Structure 1
């Protein structure tokens, strides 16, 4: 039996930090208002000319170094992103070229905040099927490019960044299962109402019906956690670490409560990163690995909820 195992992790954040106090200079908000509702204190914003692929490349190189793999050993590249550099080619192809990888499949996955979970699940299935031995999976975003900086309900939420993992074939179980879902009936709750075909333009800003999204996220993630545990006949206490999508500290706390986990078993970066969409889980995962909290052998639950609506989980033994 061939399994897929995380071999190394990496991440990268733009240099520029935008604090809540900075935002309060331009929109009607305050640090107290933002922190009490979201848990966010600051976020990173890409510089002029700094692209999603730039962030992805830095995170990918770090993950390759951590894994001990050469770029030439990678035979699949998947980039999860909502903010690609171009309409086409995909950001995965741009990243592939920068890393000097020639020939293997490379493609983007667009599932917004659940994108990295989708991408990691796809890579695991390629490896389990025998078609891939080493996969590079990246979540990278420049969400600041699609934020309306005059809309206080959304501009306080989002940030830019990238996280990456190298996943390889293994005789020992690594990724245990994935559970992916979507329901387009709720497409208008969280969306960018612009596009090439529908609106004739490639740009637009994020719109969100925040209270409805919050309620859907809490309810849906609760069911997702139950589904994931049941698939392996696991108890809540079998999970060592929760690595959730970093959207809102209240949603994160609700999921931890469902698992009966203390918050010190949850990797939280939302206070420093904001919501980085597809980048948030790999950024948080790399943070937990690099500071020594997540150790080899630990059972980790990743879960996310995003526009689409999409939601999903990956259960793995690191």
Structure 2
């Protein structure tokens, strides 16, 4: 049976580092408050004109170069993002052009912070069709362009970045199982909503709202439901918690990840994190953390659980075996 094998990975972040003290100059906050509540010390912010497609392209190039695969060999490109360059063309189409991947089609997938998990699950189905030798899944976000810098409850969390994986066909795929859930609630987390017209007039033009969230509700939703989701999912897969070598969760908040680890009675050493230096990079966080893991150790014989959550409220997990 044909499956999906992760051939390589890569990630890219903008060069500009914004510290908590930098943020405190424009937002009513302090380094002490941010670290104590979130664990975040710095984040990367696109201050030199790089948009989401630019970050995605650079992460994809790294993955392709590491695998020794040329862009024209890629069959499809899935970009997960909720901060696209625009509604049309898709960010994936721009990445396809930037890479020179003339034989690939592409589309964007939007499930916000759960994006990489949903994107990887979607790509797996295309790979299993047997029609594609290589496919790219890229998670990329320029969260900074969607922030309201008077809203300290949201602004202090977010950073920009991109992560990518290159998939290839294999009789022994890495994806063991998956489980996805959606519970729609636009009040918990929302960004970029476009209001419909209320009248015909010359001053009507498209307007979008900045990112906003109910932080306490998000924290409670995650810490109450995600540990149960992980336990139930692994039980279905016939895998014990202790058999998972690494957990790669959405990099929302270090304190949130610590709470999930505590609830699961798992050591934090098993949880891959980059939120301390990159901040909450939405869908890109898991993709970047996976690349950091994949690039630092030999994963052969290891089991890795990817769990994404967010977007008021979408969540899911993928179990990988190497």
Q: TM-score range by the shorter chain?
A: over 0.9
- TM-score under structure 1 normalisation? 0.95
Match of 1:21 in 2: 21
CA distances 1:204-226 after superposition (whole Å, capped 9, x unpaired): 21111111111011122112202
Contact kept in structure 2, 1:4 and 1:170, CA below 8 Å = yes
Alpha-carbon distance between aligned partners in 1 of 2:80 and 2:148, rounded to the nearest angstrom: 22
Unaligned runs of 5+ in 1: none
Structure number with bigger Rg: 2
CA distances 1:27-69 after superposition (whole Å, capped 9, x unpaired): 2211110011111011010024211111011100001112232
- TM-score under structure 2 normalisation? 0.94
- Given candidates 307, 311, 317, the residue that maps to 1:303 is 307
Q: Is the deviation greater in 2-11 or in 125-134?
A: 125-134
Q: Is the deviation greater in 295-304 or in 111-120?
A: 295-304
Equivalences for 1:1-318 in 2 at 5 Å? 1-184=1-184, 186-192=185-191, 194-195=193-194, 197=196, 201-292=206-297, 295-318=299-322
Secondary structure of 1:149's counterpart equals: coil
Quote the offset at 1:87 in angstroms: 1.5
| Count, aligned residues | 316
Alpha-carbon distance between aligned partners in 2 of 1:76 and 1:307, rounded to the nearest angstrom: 25
Secondary structure of 1:55's counterpart equals: helix
Instruction: Specify whether residues 9 and 213 from structure 1 end up closer, same or farther in structure 2 by C-alpha distance, changes over 3 A only.
Output: same
CA distances 1:178-232 after superposition (whole Å, capped 9, x unpaired): 2111111x22111126326579635321111111111011122112202320221
CA distances 1:242-287 after superposition (whole Å, capped 9, x unpaired): 1111001122112223443211111110000111111100111111
Superposed CA RMSD: 1.6
Question: Would you identify which runs of 4 or more consecutive aligned residues in structure 1 move more than 4 Å?
Answer: 196-200
Secondary structure of 1:77's counterpart equals: strand
Alpha-carbon distance between aligned partners in 2 of 1:54 and 1:170, rounded to the nearest angstrom: 30
